[in-house]
């Protein structure tokens, strides 16, 4: 068993998701294990009780203190977006392996800076594009790679959420361009870009449109969460609520990508429909273990079969013995943690049968696509995506 000393910078919801994932890794991957040494967060209420909850020897207000601890070999970076670059570069430079949440900063320059630091230090870096780890997504990639759909012609990726749909949703850091970057682009559309690239290949060019539908929100009190409500003084929302984008892939396929954080009635409605010259694949995150499959030679009136993925698809058999047994969001983070720890043990990015961990290079590619979207909105034209 490889036992890695880990720490977490940022103890919001995602920090706890990483902590739970580290605790569960050895249950599903017996050759891998992590010991959570410490955590850091500047908000006292976030770390209150964490030491006892996770059996830690202590916690810090400053993330810098984690880097000074020689027992910390790897760092999870789950702090707000505007801190990703500073913490990521410092951690890599200190020789710490990094599991960092997307979008890795506020810009492509931020992601590139982290990538450069990772390369210079020779450490491993896994990025939190967790939806690619769903076994049904792995099964979809296998079918695409094996040619079951024929040539992929067009696809639609959607990421609709209601976490900011309430007009009294608190104006947290997420709604500030200086701290939250480009809003729903970095928060949700980055996942859509990663899924599109992972399943279908690189993006050549795109055109995009964005909107802010709730222009003013009440100021936040304290840290809060995605879903926190507030009342009182209103201030301006500085970044995007909604994105719609058309993508041209290097393969010639066309893709529609939509994302919204203010869609009333939509709770984590994430998924895709991928069309090929001989078939169709459909996936909905809320029915994570199901894959809609239409393949064959009929072309017209060809039915869609619902397949319950099971052992042999991605990392499914590390969790359940037979198809149809539901997996969860937290399971995806366990897979991600295991891939991260395996990359440390092997000294290279880890992969499974048909699914590969997202690396810092994937984060750079996603950030460049998001910046192309922003430029398209400014210029009202198609924009090429740097490879």
Question: What distances in angstroms separate CA 380 from CA 263, 367, 375, 383, one per listed residue?
Answer: 24, 19, 8, 9
Q: In terms of domains, do 71 and 135 share one? A: no
Which residue, among 170, 147, 181, has the nearest Cα to 371 in the 3D structure? 181
Per-residue model confidence (pLDDT) at position 354 = 42
Dist CA 237 CA 214 (whole Å)? 7
DSSP per-residue letters across 156-186: EEEEE--TT-STTB-B-GGG-HHHH-STHII
* Same domain membership, residue 156 and residue 101: no
Question: Is residue 216 pLDDT above 70, yes or no?
Answer: yes
pLDDT digits (tens, 9 = 90+) for 374-386: 999 999 999 999 9
| 242 three-class SS | strand
Domain that holds residue 111: 2-130
Name the nearest CA neighbour of 154 among 189, 210, 207, 199: 199
Q: Decide which of 73, 106, 130 is a domain's last residue.
A: 130
Answer with the residue of higher pLDDT: 226 or 122.
122
Q: Is the pLDDT of residue 218 over 60?
A: yes
Assess whether 36 and 185 both reside in one domain.
no
Label residue 51 exposed, middle or buried (CB < 10 Å: 0-12, 13-18, 19+).
Answer: middle
In a domain, 117, yes or no: yes
Query: Is 349 a domain residue?
Result: no
Count up the domains in the chain and report the number: 2
Residue 126 CA neighbour count, 13 Å, CB half: 29
For the domain that residue 239 is a member of, what is the CATH number? 3.30.360.10
Instruction: Answer yes or no: is 230 within a domain.
Output: yes
Q: Work out the average pLDDT over 76-101.
A: 98
Considering the chain, what is the average pLDDT of its residues? 95
Round to whole Å and give the CA distance between 312 and 321.
10
pLDDT digits (tens, 9 = 90+) for 306-365: 999 999 999 999 999 999 999 999 999 999 999 999 999 999 987 544 457 899 999 999
Query: Is the domain of 214 the same as that of 118?
Result: no
Is residue 354 situated within a structural domain? Answer: no
- 348 in a structural domain: no
Predicted pLDDT of residue 221: 77
pLDDT for position 352? 47
Say which residue, 308 or 46, is predicted with more confidence.
Answer: 308
C-beta neighbour count of 279 within 10 angstroms = 23
Q: Is residue 76 part of a domain?
A: yes
pTM assigned to the model: 0.96
Q: What is the pLDDT of residue 222?
A: 65
Is the backbone peptide bond immediately before 103 cis, with ω within 30 degrees of 0? yes
CATH code of 59's domain: 3.40.50.720
> Which of the listed residues 97, 115, 130 is the one where a domain comes to its end?
130
- pLDDT (0 to 100) of residue 333: 98
Query: Does residue 340 sit within a domain?
Result: no
| Other beta carbons less than 10 A from residue 300's beta carbon | 4
Task: Place 226 in a pLDDT band, splitting at 50, 70 and 90.
Answer: confident
Instruction: Name which residue leads in pLDDT, 224 or 211.
Output: 211
* Same domain flag for 141 and 51: no
Residue range 140-155, pLDDT digits in tens: 999 999 999 999 999 9
- Which residue, 130, 151, 179, sits at the end of a domain? 130
CA distance 259 to 152: 22
Give per-residue pLDDT as tens, 271-316. 999 999 999 999 999 999 999 999 999 999 999 999 999 999 999 9
């Amino acid at each position: 068993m490889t036992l890695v000393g880990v720490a977490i910078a940022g103890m919001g919801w995602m920090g706890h998701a990483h902590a739970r994932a580290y605790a569960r890794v050895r249950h599903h991957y017996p050759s891998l294990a992590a010991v959570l040494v410490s955590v850091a967060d500047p908000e006292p209420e976030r770390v209150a009780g964490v030491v006892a909850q996770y059996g830690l020897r202590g916690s810090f207000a400053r993330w810098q203190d984690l880097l000074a601890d020689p027992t910390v070999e790897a760092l999870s970076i789950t702090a707000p977006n505007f801190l990703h670059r500073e913490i990521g570069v410092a951690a890599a430079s200190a020789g710490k392996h990094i599991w960092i949440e997307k979008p890795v900063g506020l810009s492509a320059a931020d992601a590139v800076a982290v990538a450069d630091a990772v390369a210079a230090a020779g450490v491993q870096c896994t990025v939190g594009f967790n939806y690619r780890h769903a076994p049904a997504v792995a099964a979809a990639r296998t079918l695409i790679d094996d040619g079951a759909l024929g040539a992929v012609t067009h696809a639609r990726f959607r990421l609709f959420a209601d976490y900011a749909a309430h007009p009294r949703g608190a104006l947290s850091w997420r709604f500030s361009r200086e701290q939250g970057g480009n809003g729903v682009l970095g928060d949700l559309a980055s996942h859509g870009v990663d899924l599109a690239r992972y399943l279908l290949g690189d993006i050549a060019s795109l055109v995009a449109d964005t909107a802010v539908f709730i222009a003013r929100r009440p100021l936040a009190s304290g840290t809060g969460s995605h879903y926190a409500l507030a009342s009182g003084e209103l201030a301006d929302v500085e970044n995007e609520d909604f994105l719609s984008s058309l993508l041209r892939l290097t393969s010639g396929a066309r893709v529609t990508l939509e994302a919204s954080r203010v869609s009333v009635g939509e709770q984590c409605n994430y998924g895709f429909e991928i069309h090929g010259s001989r078939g169709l694949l459909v996936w909905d995150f809320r029915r994570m273990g199901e894959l809609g499959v239409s393949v064959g030679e009929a072309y017209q009136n060809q039915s869609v079969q619902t397949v319950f993925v099971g052992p042999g698809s991605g990392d499914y058999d590390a969790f359940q013995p037979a198809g149809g047994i539901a997996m969860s969001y937290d399971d995806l983070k366990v897979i991600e943690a295991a891939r991260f720890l395996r990359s440390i043990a092997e000294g290279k990015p880890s992969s499974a049968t048909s699914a590969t961990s997202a690396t810092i290079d994937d984060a750079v590619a996603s950030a460049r696509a998001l910046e192309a979207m922003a430029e398209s909105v400014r210029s009202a034209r198609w924009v090429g995506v740097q490879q």
